[in-house]
Amino acid sequence: MEHLAILPILIPLLCGVLMLLPPISGQLSRQRSLSLAALGVLVLITLRLLLQAGSDEIEVYVLGDWQPPYGIVLVADRLSTLMLLLSSVLGFASMLYACAGDDRQGAYFHPLFMFQLMGINGAFLTGDIFNLFVFFEVLLIASYALLIHGGGKQKTRASVHYVVLNLVGSSIFLFALGILYGTLGTLNIADLAQKVSQLAPSEQAIASAGALMLLVVFGLKSAILPLQFWLPRTYSAASAPVAALFAILTKVGIYSILRVFTVIFGDDAGALAQIATPWLWPLAILTLIAATIGVLAASSLRQLIAQLVVLSVGTLLVGLAMARSEATGALLYYLVHSTLVCAGLFLLADMISQQRGKAEDRFVAARRMCQPVAIGIAFFIGALAIVGLPPFSGFVGKALLLKSTLLEGEAAWVYPAILFGGLAALIAMSRAGTTLFWHTSREPDSCDRVSRLQLAAVFLLLLTSPLLVIFGGPVSDFTYDTAEQLHGMSRSLHLLLPGGGS
C-alpha cells in the first residue's frame, strides 16, 4: 500500500511501453484488452486513494528516498486524488468508446492514449512545479499525435495551431521556472510556499513577474480569454474519444492555477499574496462573455460543445477569482460535472454524425437518424445537464457558485455573466436538438447503428450528472473539505517538507 500513490503514473507508462513491444504490438484485440483492464484497475486504485485522502491523510511519496525539496515528490491529498479519479473514469469511458472502432483509424492509438493519461495523472500528483512542466510536456507530446490520429486536412490544420501555441507556452513556462528558482532557490511547492513570504523587497518584483508568467501558461492550457481561440477548432477536429479525453486538459490548467496560486501565492504569501486575483476577475467575466457569443454562433454540435467547454472554464474562473474555500468547494463540484458531461457530449456528437450521413453534426436538415430514441434520450440528459437545469448536476454546481458570492460587488458581476451564459447554452442546445432530431429531409437509405460499446460509454459519462445530484451531499461535503484542506495547506507544510512547519 505504501507505493499506491505512484501507480496512477506507472500503470499507464508500463502499459504504453508493453503495447509497443511484441507480442502485443500490432495485435489490436490484445491492446484493447490490456487498455480496458489497466484503466479499470486504475479506477479502483484512484478510488482507494480518494477514500484514503478522505480521512485528511496526505500521502507523500518520495522517489529514491531523496527527501524534499531536493528530490522528486508526489503528493496525494484530497484535491489530487479527486482529479485522479476523474481522469481515470474519463479515460475508461473514452477507451470503451474507442474500442468500438475509432482506434483503427491510425497506428499507436492505445500507447499514445496511455502516455497522455500518464502525463495527466503526473501533473495532478507532482509536488513541485518543475515536474509539473515535465508532465505537461509528456501529455502535450501525446496529445499532438492523438490530435492527428487518423489523418485529414482539418486535423492537420488544427494541430499546427495547437502545437505552435503550446510550444510558446512551454518556453514561457521554462522562463518562469528559471525566474522563480533564481529568486527562491527551489521549485518544490511546499518549499516555495514557505519561502515566498520571506522575499526581500528587491526580489518581490521579479518573483511576481515569474508568477504572472505561470498564470499566462496555465491560462493557455485552460483556454482563458484571450488564449482560448485554439480550443474550438482543436476539439472539434479531434476524433471523438480523443476529444472526450481532451475535456480534462483545460481542467489541468485550472488545477494548476488552483494549486500554485492558492498554496504558493495564497493568503500567506506576504507582499505577493493573491497576486493573481486582480487578473482573474476580468479574465473570468470576459471569458464567459466570449464563450456566450461562441455558443450562439456555433454551426455544428462539436463546435457548440467546444464552446461550452470554454463557457465552463469561465464559470470555474469565477470561483478561482473569489479566492476563498467556499467558492473553491463549489468550483470543484462544478469541475467534476462539466468535465464528465462535456466528454459525454463529444462522444454523442460523433454518434449523431455517423447517422446523419454527409451532413454529419452540422445544424442543417439531413436524413433521419435510425436510432433516434436512444440517441435522443442521451442528448436530452446531456443538454439539461450542461445547460444547468434542475434536477441535474449543472444546476447544483452553478447554484453553489452563486451562493458563494458573499460580496455585493461580486454578485453584480457574477450573476449576470453566469445566468446569461446558461441562457445562451439553453438557446443553442434547443436549436441543436430541434435541427438534429426534427429537421429531417428523408428516411435513411441504410441504418448505420452505433455499437453497444459506444452507447455504454456515452451513458456512463452522462448518467454521472444525476448521480452527482443523488449523492450530492457526500460529494459536495468532499469538495468543500478539499477546499478547506487546500486553503489551509500552510498548516500542513510539515507533512510535505521536513522542517516546513517549524
Instruction: Read off the pLDDT of each residue in 86-108 and give the average, rounded to a whole number.
Output: 92
The whole-number pLDDT of residue 500 equals 39
Cβ neighbours around 454 below 10 Å, total: 24
Contact between 315 and 338 (Cβ < 8 Å): yes
Kindly state the average pLDDT of the residues 312-320.
95
What confidence category does residue 69 fall into, taking pLDDT thresholds of 50, 70 and 90?
A: confident
pLDDT band at 7 (very low <50, low <70, confident <90, very high): very high
pTM of this prediction exceeds 0.75: yes
Separation CA 105–CA 114 (nearest Å): 17
Task: Give the amino acid at 231.
Answer: L
> Cα–Cα distances in Å, from 407 out to 304, 318, 398, 414?
33, 13, 17, 10
How far is the C-alpha of 124 from the C-alpha of 335, rounded, in Å?
A: 14
**pLDDT score, position 445:** 64
Distance CA(476)–CA(328), nearest Å, equals: 11
The pLDDT-based confidence of 59 (bands split at 50, 70, 90) is confident
Over residues 318-345, the mean pLDDT reads: 95
CB 275 within 8 A of CB 124: no
Cα–Cα distance, 187 to 196 (Å, whole number): 11
- Average pLDDT taken over every residue of the chain: 91
Least confident of 134-138, 236-240, 364-368: 364-368
Q: What is the CB neighbour count within 10 angstroms for residue 160?
A: 11
With a cut of 90, say whether residue 31 has pLDDT above it: yes
- Residues of the chain above pLDDT 70, percent: 96
First to last CA, the chain: 29
Residue matched to cell numbers 510558446:
168
Q: Could you report the per-residue pLDDT of 445-502, keeping only the tens digit for each? A: 667 788 899 999 999 999 999 999 999 999 999 999 999 999 988 767 666 766 433 3
pLDDT confidence bin for 413, thresholds 50/70/90: confident
- Interval 82-94 mean pLDDT: 97
What pLDDT does residue 407 have? 65
**Hey, which residues does 440 pair with through a beta bridge?**
366
**Cell numbers representing residue 323 in the block:** 479566492
Q: Which of 7-11, 171-175, 316-320, 446-450 has the lowest mean pLDDT?
A: 446-450
Q: Give the residue, 45 or 101, on which the prediction is more confident.
A: 45
Quick one: which H or E segment has residue 76?
strand 73-76
Question: Does the pLDDT at position 87 exceed 50?
Answer: yes
The pLDDT of residue 292 is 95
Looking at residues 167-176, what average pLDDT do you find?
Answer: 95
Weakest-pLDDT range from 2-16, 197-211, 226-240, 466-480: 226-240
Does residue 27 have a pLDDT over 50?
yes
CA distance 132 to 202: 28
* Amino acid letter, residue 270: G
Report how far Cα 158 is from the mean position of its chain's Cα atoms: 20
Q: Rounded mean pLDDT of 222-236?
A: 88
Average pLDDT over residues 112-120: 96
